[in-house]
Structure 1
Amino acid sequence: METAVFKTYVPEPKEPGWVLIDAAGQPIGRVASKIAAILRGKHKPDFTPNMAMGDCVVVINADKVVLTGSKPRTKVYTRYSGYPGGLKRTVAAVMLAEKPVKAVEHAVKGMLPKGTLGNIMFRRLKVYAGATHPHAAQKPVKMEVE
């Protein structure tokens, strides 16, 4: 009696595509979750959790992203320098006004896997505060955020 041999399909890594997302007027969390899904490759039929199969994402108009409800005044971003007394706190309204690119990157990074795989995915994210970007030669495909 022969035993059945099952072969698992493992996709070959391909050159990533490019996706353009306009964040103007969108809530930051909804934009970030859409971006994280594209960076992971969950929109592709051959999604593999342990491989970086996603596309590169270009985000424009990060300065026009919004926070809903009371989050602009109650949400706090913290960072720590490692030195005594080095804990810094920034309110979300100030962060969006001064560093909107950092706010979007922070939201997306928290939704990606931790470790080396997440770092590879995060490097494929390009965020710009204005409507212009230097990636026109890559011909990014425009995607809408629902």
Structure 2
Amino acid sequence: MQKTKFDTIKEVKPKWHLLDAKDKILGHLAEEAGNILNGKLSAHFSPNQYGQDKVVIINSNQIRVTGNKLEDKLYIHHTGFPKGLRSQSLKEVMAKDSTKVIESAVSGMLPKNRLRKKKMAGLFVFKDEKHTHQANFGKVSK
């Protein structure tokens, strides 16, 4: 009887994907990046291994959201001190650092398990078109 062979991490070569966030809706972009980071687009998908694929997202300053989310969507965190609940609107977070918005959205698309941190390490977000990973691309997604 033959046994099914799964590819190990060393056998699979990483693919680099470039996503342009210009005039794209935040959730649609996060879903696309999440699927790539999960390894769902790879023929070597295995749920107990993290995919080797990397995603570079450019133009994070020009992302779009639908409806009234710029004012209504809140990012909430706690400082750890009494009365330390803090919140910021999407507009405030975008003005401060637009890459955090995309990282948060993509993180929400990934499974909540011990591989999430490794998968998120394959995400690189840049505010404009200049990025430091020019030499790594084989496939360009638009």
Would you say same fold, with TM above 0.5? Answer: yes
Alignment gaps of 5+ in structure 1: none
Match of 1:84 in 2: 82
Moved over 6 A (4+): none
Match of 2:137 in 1: 139
Q: Which of the pair has more CA radius of gyration?
A: 1
Q: Please, what TM-score do these two structures have when normalized by structure 1?
A: 0.89
Q: Distance in 1 between matches of 2:43 and 2:83?
A: 49
Q: Give the deviation of 1:6 after TM superposition.
A: 4.9
Q: Distance in 2 between matches of 1:24 and 1:89?
A: 26
For the pair 1:98 / 2:91, whether they are aligned, the reply is: no
Write the mapping of 1:1-146 to structure 2, written as runs, cut at 5 A: 5-13=1-9, 14-139=12-137, 141-144=139-142
Give the aligned residue type for 2:57: V
Q: Distance in 2 between matches of 1:79 and 1:15?
A: 37
Q: Please, what TM-score do these two structures have when normalized by structure 2?
A: 0.92
Alignment gaps of 5+ in structure 2: none
CA deviations 1:66-118 (Å, max 9, x no partner) are: 11011111111111111112111001122122211000000001111223211
